Amino acid sequence: MVSYVVTRASRGLGLQFVKTLAVCDSMVFAFVRNADGSTDLRQLAEFNANVYIVYGDLDKPTTLKARNRGTFRAVPAVEEVAKVTGGSLDVLINNAAKIPGKNSGLGLSDYIGQEDVLVEEFNEFFKTNVIGAALLINAFLSLLEKGPTKKVVTISSFVGDVDFVVKSGHPASASYSASKSAVNMVNAKYAAEFREKGFVFLAVSPGFVKTWDNKNTSPEFTKHVDAVAQMFKKVTRPDWEALPSTPEKSVELVLDVIDKATPADSGKFVSQFGNQVWL
């Protein structure tokens, strides 16, 4: 039975990864910051004996060690995984990330006069999306080394691709985009370090995916999404409809990329199609 750790598993793509893997012959450890607040995940674990909920927060590295959190058991995350698997891990899917918020439409020059906000945003995005990713990988390396698969997948984004950003004319979400470019380099550095040990380190963009709830979105948000999609359409394939994909379809494609990846692919940054066609 293949074992997976999936971070940020309480919603969006992370939850869909768990749902998809739960019906396979897989052992799935769902990493969350608040297990009590994820009704869908708790129900999934209740009806699937191969799904385990593990508490962890990339912004707080000490959460990989024992700590109480609501009704969650105070067991170190890595130790909890090792106890179930016998001390190994096959695949680590690092889906956890800070995503663009209220300032997502701003370009870097829009921060002139509010430099403290720019510094704060860059620090927050890099703390979670870059440093947090490295700390998570380091925490699970000893388990991955003992597994036969040795795959580490970081969910990145096409807005971290320099050429795509320039060609599409997309100046917004700068701190998020920069953090995704940086985590792609983190992925490459791990690949270089472990190239002789059979590891596969892969950064994968899941595409333009609808992870938001229409009930909780404003007309302004919808307008912004449509405008960004049209901007992206400039540099994507001619048949792209400028519409977001579903989490189900995106996860299906990403898992296929993961399954097919070999040590020869280690260090690459690819799309959900396994190449650099981003949308």
Active site residue 234: no
Catalytic residue among 19, 150, 180, 268: 180
- Closest by Cα among 275, 273, 265 to 191: 265
CB-CB neighbours of 137 under 10 Å: 18
Catalytic residue among 3, 157, 173, 266: 157
Active site residue 180: yes
Q: Which residues fall within 8 angstroms of residue 88, CB to CB, at 6 or more apart?
A: 3, 82, 143, 144, 146, 147
For 273, the token pair is 């199609």
Q: Is the dihedral of CA 95, 54, 216, 20 positive or negative?
A: positive
Q: Which string of DSSP letters, residue by residue, matches the chain?
A: -EEEEESSTTSHHHHHHHHHHHTSSEEEEEEES-GGG-HHHHHHHHH-TTEEEEE-BTTBGGGGS---BTTB----HHHHHHHHHTS--SEEEE-------TTTT--GGGGTT-HHHHHHHHHHHHIIIIIHHHHHHHHHHHHHHTSSS-EEEEE--GGG-HHHHHHHT--S-HHHHHHHHHHHHHHHHHHHHTTTTT-EEEEE---SB--S-GGG--HHHHHHHHHHHHHHHTTS-TT--S-PBPHHHHHHHHHHHHHH--GGGTT-EE-TTSSS---
Catalytic residue among 176, 177, 181, 190: 176
| Catalytic residue annotation | 157, 176, 180
